[in-house]
Each structure stands twice: as C-alpha cells, then as structure tokens.
Amino acid sequence: MTNRVIAIDGPSGSGKSTVSRAIGQKLGFLHVDSGALYRIVTWQGLLHGVDPNDAAAVAAFAGRLAVEMTAVDGAVRFSVGGVEPGDAIRTAEINAAVSPVSKVPEVRAKVTAWLRDLRRLGDLVVEGRDIGSVVFPDSPARFYLDAAPEERARRRHLEEQAKGLPKQDREAVMASLLNRDRIDSSRAVAPLKVAEGALVIDSTRMPIEEVVATVISHLPEEWREP
Ligand code: DC
C-alpha cells in the first residue's frame, strides 16, 4: 500500500506550519515543509551566483542540485552537502527571491518529484501551495487554510521576532507577504488556489487547536487514530 498523505495548502501566515506539525505529531505522520525546498533551491542558487530572475539559469541550476532528505523526530529534514540551512532560508533576501524562483517550471517539476518520492519514508503531512492541487491531487485529505492578510502579517511578524531575525516592522512584513501572495497566485504553473474538493478553513479567529481538530475530523475515519 502506498503511504498516506495529508495536504495542507494556503498563503503565508495562514497557520499551515503550526497546524501541520501538530497533526503530524498527533497522528504519527511525517511533517514535510515543501516551501523549505523552494527556499533551499533559492538559497543555493544565490550562494552560487545565480540571478533569481533569470529563469533559464535557475532551471539549469535546479537540475543539478542534490538535496538530502531524512526523517528525524517526526519530520523530514533537508540538507545540501551535509549542511542543514536552518534560518539561512528565512532571511528577507530569500523571502524576496523565492517567489520568482518557484515560478520556474523546471524548479516546480523537480520539487514535485522530490515530494512524491518522500512517500517512501512513511505517511506524510505536507504543507505548501499546490500540494492538494498538483503534487498529491488523489489524496482524500486535502485542506486549504486561509486568514485575513492583517492577521497573517501579525503572525509572521511575531514568528520573525521569536526567531530573532533582523527587525522588520509590521508594514514591511505585510508588504513582503502580500507581494509573495500576488506572485504565487498569479504564476502560470501551479498557482496558489483552492484545489477542487479541498476543505477551506478560515483560521482568522480560530485558535490553533480548533483548526487541528477540524482537519482531523475531516480525515478518512481510519486515519484519525495514531
Ligand atoms: O511557505 P513558504 O513561505 O516557506 O514558501 C516559500 C515560497 O515557496 C512561497 O513564495 C511559495 C513557494 N511555494 C510554492 O510555490 N509551492 C509550494 N508547494 C510551497 C511553497
């Protein structure tokens, strides 16, 4: 039997990471942050002098890039040449460059193939933008989390502060987030959108536990117990 996949899509700050980590822990599914793979391609590209707006150069670079993927403590961890990126993939520079990089069809094809291959490691809860629409459209467990932009910017800002990342004010966080939303939603290949048949959950005023409980209550019955 192929391993099971729970797909959690949505824009930045919609609560995907917190919710998908919590579900993974509760049910014993490995957590996969697909955005981290797009960020790793971007990070490595910048380190190697690739212009993120040069689609042909980005495509050629992504074709050569190897990423190691291993299951550790309930999540899939990524590294390049044995080095885990940590917060190096969460900087303002990566935030600005990752949307143009993730528009490149060859990059999307590569990340999609990586994600599908991860099923060999176990049951997965995968968060991203196109997981239910493109990567795992056959999964019976596909969700789309959303929240008002102000609330999403507030969450991202708190997250960045908690991580001790260089200070950006709330307006700057909001502008960068809205800009990524715009590029992610309008790109030609696999734009951010609600997959047909996915359940939409608006988390603007919902505590995280309630979002987690809502997702779990909509899973196939036999998936709900760890
Ligand atoms: O979730 P995140 O902010 O770490 O995602 C970073 C970028 O990667 C975001 O601009 C959109 C892109 N992305 C994507 O295109 N498809 C995914 N499945 C996940 C992320």
Query: What confidence tens digit (pLDDT) does each residue in 8-27 have?
Result: 999 988 999 999 999 999 99
Task: Tell me, in angstroms, the distance from the centre of ligand 1 to residue 185's CA.
Answer: 11
Q: Mean per-residue pLDDT for 115-142?
A: 97
Residue of 23, 28, 21, 32 whose CA lies nearest to 136: 32
| Residue 122 · residue 71 · CB < 8 Å | yes
Q: What's residue 133's pLDDT?
A: 94
Residue 10 and residue 146 in contact, taking contact as beta carbons nearer than 8 Å = yes
> Where are the chain's structural domains?
5-223
Residue having the nearest C-alpha atom to atom 6 of ligand 1: 35
List pocket residues of ligand 1, CB cut-off 6 Å: 12, 34-35, 38-39, 98-99, 102, 128-131, 180, 184
Q: Closest ligand 1 atom to the C-alpha of 39? A: 6
Q: Are strands 68-72 and 199-202 parallel, antiparallel or unpaired?
A: unpaired
* pLDDT confidence of residue 1: 60
Taking only the tens place, the pLDDT of each residue in 29-82 is: 999 999 999 999 999 999 999 999 999 999 999 999 999 999 999 999 999 999
pTM to 2 decimal places: 0.93
* One-character DSSP codes across 63-129: HH---EEEEETTEEEEEBTTB--GGGGSSHHHHHHHHHHHTSHHHHHHHHHHHHHGGGGS-EEEEES
Lowest average pLDDT, out of 86-95, 106-115, 119-128, goes to: 86-95
With CA atoms as reference, report the closest residue to 4 among 111, 113, 126.
126
- Tokens coding 163: 């991580």
* Cβ count within 10 A of residue 183: 16
Of 77, 67, 68, give the one whose Cα is nearest residue 31: 77
Element (H, E) at 5: strand 5-9
Give 78-102 pLDDT, tens digit per residue: 999 999 999 999 998 998 899 899 9
Please determine, for residue 165, whether its predicted confidence score (pLDDT) is greater than 80.
no
Mutation probe of ligand 1 site: the residue of 34, 91, 146 with most atoms within 8 A of C-beta: 34
Task: Look up residue 216 and give its two tokens.
Answer: 């779990």
CA of 112 from ligand 1 middle (Å) equals 12
The class that CATH gives domain 5-223 is: alpha beta
Residue bearing the bigger pLDDT, 167 or 99: 99
